[in-house]
Amino acid sequence: MKLAFAAATVLMFAVPAAGQQVFVVRHAERADAATGAPPMMTTDPDLSDPGKARAESLATALKDARITAIYTTEFKRTRQTAAPLAKALGIEPTVVPAKDFPGLMEKVKAASGNILVVGHSNTVGDVIAKLGAT
């Protein structure tokens, strides 16, 4: 498995057996973080303006990556991070509950094409580890 850094802090993994690429990102900046509110005081904040700009940058960076599936959690910040790319590609993101890590990994491993996973700071590392990277 190969790990590479790309624009917009995208982590890419090549899964050799399938020739598949898995792009893993943490959601863009939350609006409550921009206001200085303590983390998670708002249970489901939108993206901040810089976060929305980063989501657009992600779409630009990955528009030619031949992504066929996008996975997010139920939280607005992951869905809003994925939205510009999903719209550009005509893909409806699959929402997997944040607490259903095994379900997410089943979907990732069952996917046949290149995929994007938009997660959280406490899940991105787990996805990377489960894909076999250290």
Write out pLDDT tens, residues 6-22: 334 556 555 544 578 99
**Reduced to 3 states, what is the DSSP secondary structure of residue 66?**
coil
Burial of 75 (0-12, 13-18, 19+ CB in 10 A): buried
Question: Can you give the pLDDT at residue 132?
Answer: 84
User: Which of 134, 132, 102 has its CA nearest to residue 18?
Assistant: 132
Question: Can you give the pLDDT at residue 24?
Answer: 95
**Distance between CA atoms of residues 106 and 100, nearest Å:** 10
Question: Can you give the pLDDT at residue 20?
Answer: 85
Question: Can you give the pLDDT at residue 37?
Answer: 60
| pTM for the full predicted model | 0.83
**Distance between CA atoms of residues 10 and 107, nearest Å:** 20
Residues in CB range of 40: below 8 A, 6 or more apart = none
Let me know if domain 2-130 sits in CATH 3.40.50.1240: yes
Cβ pair 30, 45 in contact under 8 A: yes
| pLDDT tens figures, 45-88 | 999 999 999 999 999 999 999 999 999 999 999 999 999 999 99
Cβ pair 113, 68 in contact under 8 A: yes
Average pLDDT over residues 27-31: 92
Question: Can you give the pLDDT at residue 18?
Answer: 55
Question: Can you give the pLDDT at residue 105?
Answer: 95
Residue the block writes with tokens 């997997």: 96
